[in-house]
Structures are given as C-alpha cells and as structure tokens.
Amino acid sequence: MNYLGFPILVCAYLTSVSTHEVDTYDFLMPNVWPHRDELYLCSPIRISPRNNYYIVGFQPNATMHTAHHMLLYGCSEPGTDDPVWSCGEMQSNEVDDQYNTASPCREGSQIVYAWARDAPSLELPKDVGFLIGKDSSIKYLVLQIHYMHKFPENKRDNSGVFIKYTKEPMRRQAGVILLGTGGAIPPNKVEHMETACTMREDKVIHPFAFRTHTHALGTAVSGYAVRQEPSGDVWQLIGKKNPQLPQMFYPVADTTPVRQGDVLAARCTMNNTNSFTVKIGATNKDEMCNFYLMYWVENSSPLDQKYCFSAGPPYYYWSRAPQNFNRIPDLEASTL
Ligand SMILES: *[C@@H]1O[C@H](CO)[C@@H](O)[C@H](O)[C@H]1NC(C)=O
Ligand SMILES: *[C@@H]1O[C@H](CO)[C@@H](O)[C@H](O)[C@H]1NC(C)=O
C-alpha cells in the first residue's frame, strides 16, 4: 500500500499553518505504464483515521489524449493493497501479467468526482465539502483512470487530480446516492429500466449535481424527486442526459430540496438493436443503468442510504412499484 497521503502532508503542516487553510494534495498516478488498449488502472491513498478532512474542490490534471475518463472513489476498503491495479468495470477474462485485477473498492464504494474527456469539471458549491477520514465511512480515496490506448515501452503516465481540502468543518456536507437497476433488455426492443426509493431518513437533501452511466445501448437517463400529494404525484425532474455524452457530473435542473417521504426515482431508456438479449452485468457485453445524485445536507451527515436498486425489467417498473405512482411522465422521462 502506498502510504503517501494526507497523514504525511498534515503532519508537516500542523506546526506551521492554521487549520482554516485550504491545502492541495496531488493525487497522481505513480508513473504507470498502460501496457494495452482499453485499460482501467486504480491507485489508492489512505486517509489519516485520526482527523476529519473536507474535500472542497477538484482540479483535473490529465491529458486528453491519454485519459478517457477519471473517477475518484471513496472507499472504506480499497480493492487491493497494491499501489496500482487493473480495475476495469468491464472485466475481460484475459489474465493481466502487469497488474492484479480487482474492483476500485472492496467495501463501501461511492463516487465523489468524475472527469471525462472534453468536459469542464464541476466545482462543489460554496461551503460544501466531502467529509473523509475519522468520522466518515471514506477511509481511502481511489483514483481510477481509463486509458484508451497502449503506451509505448518508454512512456509512463502521471495523470490525476489535485484535491483541495481543509480541516475546517464545513457547514454543508456532500453525499452521493446511486440509483440503478438489474434486469435484461429483450432483443430489438426499447426497454425502460426503472427504480424508485422513498426517503425514510429524517433529513433534507439539496441536489446539486448528477451523473448518468450506461454502456452502448442507453439513449436517455433521467432522475426525479416525486412528491406524493393527495391531489396526485408531482414528478420534479432532477436531471436528464444522453449517456453517450461525457459521463461527468452536471448541474441539476432543479435544486428544490428533497425531504423525508419524497421518492427518488430514475429511468434508463435502452435501445437494444441486437438480435439477442442484453442483461445488466460487469462485462463489456453487458449493460448498466446508473443515475448518481450528488447533494448536500446542512448541519447534518449525508444519507445512510447510498444505493437505490431495483430488479429492473421484466420484474420491476414504476407502474408496478409499491408507491402506487400516478402521473408518471412517460414521454418526458425518455426524450432529451
Ligand atoms: C500534472 O501535474 C504535474 C505535477 O504538477 C505536472 O508536471 C504535469 O505536467 C501535469 N500533467 C498534466 C497533463 O497536466
Ligand atoms: C433505436 O435504434 C435504431 C437503430 O439505430 C433507430 O432506428 C431507432 O429509431 C431507435 N429507437 C429509439 C426509440 O431510440
């Protein structure tokens, strides 16, 4: 395990700098060699468990020609103890002789930052920070980079992210909830993969960014906050995107807070032009349906609930959900 990280930096600063200062940590790949095309590499840092830190900004430091996308995961346990490993979401069965293969996190995975080629990066709103370290389930940060092309023998890469952080407690903590589905898409069919969860926790969340993720079949992904009023359901669009565009965090369409009793819902519209069924899964022949919602909470901690998954088609649709939805925006949810 690479022990470079917050502990060392912070020890160095404790004597000389007030804790109100925002500091920068250069989280860069340690001279990696992308030795084949379509490679995902991961590298971890351990956060000092003795202190709380708040991430308040990200600055990408990547070359468009080499990095296709970068994701920053918060984990309670990293995928391996190696300084670098191969961490493709789309696992190929080929044995990798250069790096071990594992997922980015072994436990407690959440995405805190995403950068994609040709897209500007999103800043966290004022007074908002991601709590990591002592009082957070985020004990490690793992940087994942998708390299499209094999590097020449003598070339190495240090793409990464400059992380801006502070020890000063932030009034507003950022959190992420991931909505997604299982299920399958029949051949030659446009299918809706849907999920919905009622917010049970006594908290008020303020949506500010969202990210969509599918593989090749996704044509539209939308997320809603649903208020179930006596006069009928009010479907408030949080965000909608073509998942074939760069898959980064985009600002939400509506920042209206979401409260206990409201429902979070997402739909992926998938167009399967193949003559065979495509199911949700981990290989590049499979699909995914994900909607990430990034929010902040005031003077509170983020939701305990980090996921909202359904079984997907043919088992689950909004129209059969226990919430007994009405006024489902069927057309709007699938058209961009
Ligand atoms: C990334 O940061 C390092 C160190 O600050 C710098 O030398 C390098 O040029 C940067 N790379 C890119 C692609 O910006
Ligand atoms: C599905 O894809 C086919 C082939 O690209 C296209 O002709 C059709 O219009 C698409 N349908 C929808 C609903 O996107």
CATH number of the domain bearing residue 285:
2.60.120.230
Specify the ligand 1 atom closest to the Cα of 162.
2
Residue 5 lies in a domain: no
| Co-location of 145 and 242 in the same domain | no
| Co-location of 231 and 149 in the same domain | no
Active site residue 144: yes
Is any atom of ligand 1 closer than 6 Å to the C-beta of 70?
no
| Co-location of 222 and 146 in the same domain | no
Burial category of 237 from C-beta neighbours within 10 Å (exposed 0-12, middle 13-18, buried 19 and up): middle
| Co-location of 19 and 161 in the same domain | yes
Specify the ligand 2 atom closest to the Cα of 334.
13
Which is the catalytic residue, given 29, 70, 110, 146? 146
Residue 250 lies in a domain: yes
| Co-location of 217 and 156 in the same domain | no
Q: Specify the number of domains making up the chain.
A: 2
CA of 61 to the centre of ligand 1 (A): 6
| pLDDT at position 171 over 60 | yes
Question: In the block, which residue shows the tokens 């909608």?
Answer: 240
Q: Are strands 67-75 and 39-46 parallel, antiparallel or unpaired?
A: unpaired
| Co-location of 121 and 200 in the same domain | no
| Co-location of 128 and 252 in the same domain | no
Which is the catalytic residue, given 70, 199, 288, 294? 288
Residue 53 lies in a domain: yes
Pocket perturbation via mutation, ligand 2, pick of 191, 221, 273 by most ligand atoms within 8 A of CB? 273
Least confident among 60-69, 72-81, 96-105, 219-228: 60-69
Active site residue 213: yes
What count of other Cβ atoms lies within 10 Å of the Cβ of residue 93?
Answer: 5
Among 118, 143, 170, the domain boundary falls at: 170
| Co-location of 240 and 303 in the same domain | yes
Higher pLDDT, 49 or 93: 49
Among 148, 170, 192, the domain boundary falls at: 170
Residue 191 lies in a domain: yes
| Co-location of 89 and 231 in the same domain | no
pLDDT band at 116 (very low <50, low <70, confident <90, very high): confident
Angle 331-334-335 from CA coordinates, rounded to 5°: 80
Ligand 2 is surrounded, with C-beta below 6 A, by 190, 219, 271, 273
Residue 262 lies in a domain: yes
| Co-location of 37 and 139 in the same domain | yes
Which is the catalytic residue, given 70, 110, 199, 215? 215
Residue minimizing CA distance to atom 8 of ligand 2: 271
| Co-location of 42 and 122 in the same domain | yes
Residue minimizing CA distance to atom 4 of ligand 1: 26
Residue 261 lies in a domain: yes
Strand, coil or helix: 11: helix
Query: Distance between CA atoms of 22 and 55, rounded to whole angstroms?
Result: 9
How does pLDDT run across 172-188, given as a tens digit for each residue? 999 999 999 999 999 99
Specify the ligand 2 atom closest to the Cα of 219.
14
How does pLDDT run across 243-296, given as a tens digit for each residue? 999 889 999 999 999 999 999 999 999 999 999 999 998 777 899 999 999 999
Gyration radius of the chain's alpha carbons: 20
Nearest to 309 by CA among 194, 184, 198, 137: 194
pLDDT band at 89 (very low <50, low <70, confident <90, very high): low
How does pLDDT run across 8-29, given as a tens digit for each residue? 333 333 333 444 589 999 999 9
Contact 214, 281 (CB under 8 A): no
Q: Is 35 annotated as a binding residue?
A: no
Q: Give pLDDT, residue 15.
A: 33
Is any atom of ligand 1 closer than 6 Å to the C-beta of 63?
yes
Is any atom of ligand 1 closer than 6 Å to the C-beta of 62?
yes
| pLDDT at position 38 over 70 | yes
Among 125, 147, 170, the domain boundary falls at: 170
Query: Distance between CA atoms of 164 and 131, rounded to whole angstroms?
Result: 12
Q: What is the mean pLDDT of residues 100-129?
A: 87
Which is the catalytic residue, given 29, 70, 144, 170? 144
Residue 94 lies in a domain: yes
Which residue range forms the structural domain that includes residue 213?
178-334
| Co-location of 140 and 98 in the same domain | yes
Higher pLDDT, 122 or 37: 37
Active site residue 206: no
Q: Are strands 307-310 and 172-181 parallel, antiparallel or unpaired?
A: parallel
Active site residue 146: yes
Residue 6 lies in a domain: no
What is the reported pTM? Answer: 0.88
| CATH code for position 54 | 2.60.120.310
- Mean predicted lDDT score pLDDT of the chain: 90
